[in-house]
């Protein structure tokens, strides 16, 4: 590459500014902490800073492998994340990922990340019917009906 040419300089400049933009995104995502509601309990499944940076690698699965052969490399369950990081809405029920306040969206929206996980996985803790009174059960069934699919 002709590093002294005008184009070379421009290129360098744009690479540097791109790097700065992505760097500031990372820093800002961390600064968002005030708006990130901590999970239940004392600690996460791993160190908090580690989780910020690496949670995606703990969870990611090769779709076909998981579906057909079981999951080998997945260290933590998504269900666990969802149960500790459930956030209650004004109706007292856990928010689904359709709410921007959902834990997983608290950074993702900001960082312009979108995940398709919740097309298949529940985004709030699943209710056990045995935990409910018949009155509550009736309500849940009604909401499910009006919501269509429970995401
Ligand atoms: C036992 C409950 C529990 C489970 C299970 C859990 N977390 Fe956490 N998580 C927490 C707590 C508590 C914190 C806050 C820790 C702190 O402040 O040191 C936290 C913090 C985090 C953070 C950092 C948030 C911030 O403020 O920057 C991320 C990201 C995170 N968890 C993702 C996950 C993911 C993904 C999973 C599933 C693999 C998961 N957690 C499972 C309780 C949990
Ligand atoms: C502390 C902020 C924060 C929280 C809370 C958070 N994420 Fe993330 N997540 C990010 C950032 C930032 C990225 C993009 C990082 C990158 O691409 O290197 C990301 C990326 C991901 C990816 C990879 C996306 C891709 O296209 O490769 C997955 C999967 C993911 N997050 C799952 C989750 C789940 C599930 C939750 C909720 C349990 C969650 N995240 C909560 C910040 C967060
Ligand atoms: C096409 C449907 C589909 C999509 C999309 C999908 N998964 Fe899965 N996932 C499955 C199936 C099926 C299993 C195996 C059955 C099970 O354990 O629930 C599974 C299992 C898992 C497991 C281990 C089991 C557990 O208890 O959590 C994790 C973790 C997981 N998926 C995370 C993710 C994340 C993160 C995303 C988004 C990046 C995602 N999945 C997207 C279908 C899907």
pLDDT digits (tens, 9 = 90+) for 51-60: 999 999 888 7
Give Cα 88 distance to the centre of its chain.
16
Residue 60 in contact with residue 76, Cβ under 8 Å? no
CB of 44 shorter than 6 A to ligand 1: yes
Residue 41, pLDDT > 60, answer yes
How far apart are the C-alpha atoms of 59 and 115, rounded to whole Å? 12
Residue 75 and residue 6 share a domain: no
User: Count of domains in the chain?
Assistant: 2
Residue 43 and residue 100 share a domain: yes
How far apart are the C-alpha atoms of 84 and 125, rounded to whole Å? 9
Domain ranges, residue 63: 39-147
Taking the centre of ligand 1 as the mean of its atom positions, its distance from the CA of residue 51, in whole angstroms, is 7
Residue 13 and residue 58 share a domain: no
Residue 44 and residue 30 share a domain: no
pLDDT digits (tens, 9 = 90+) for 131-145: 556 666 676 667 667
CB of 33 shorter than 6 A to ligand 1: yes
Using a pLDDT cut of 70, give the percent of the chain over it: 56
Give the mutation target among 58, 70, 71, 151 for probing the ligand 3 site: most ligand atoms within 8 A of CB: 71
Residue 93 and residue 49 share a domain: yes
Is the whole-model pTM more than 0.85?
Answer: no
Residue 11 and residue 50 share a domain: no
């Amino acid at each position: 590459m002709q590093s002294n040419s005008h184009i070379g300089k421009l290129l360098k400049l744009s690479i540097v500014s791109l790097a700065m933009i992505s760097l500031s995104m990372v820093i800002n995502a961390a600064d968002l902490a005030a708006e990130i509601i901590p999970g239940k309990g004392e600690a996460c499944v791993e160190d908090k800073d580690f989780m910020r940076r690496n949670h995606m690698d703990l969870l990611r699965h090769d779709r076909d492998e998981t579906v057909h052969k079981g999951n080998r490399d997945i260290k933590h369950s998504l269900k666990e994340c969802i149960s500790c990081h459930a956030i209650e809405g004004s109706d007292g029920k856990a928010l689904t990922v359709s709410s921007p306040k959902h834990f997983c969206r608290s950074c993702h929206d900001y960082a312009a990340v979108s995940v398709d996980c919740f097309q298949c996985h529940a985004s709030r803790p699943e209710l056990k019917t045995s935990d409910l009174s018949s009155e509550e059960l009736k309500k849940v069934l009604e909401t499910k009906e009006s919501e269509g699919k429970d995401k």
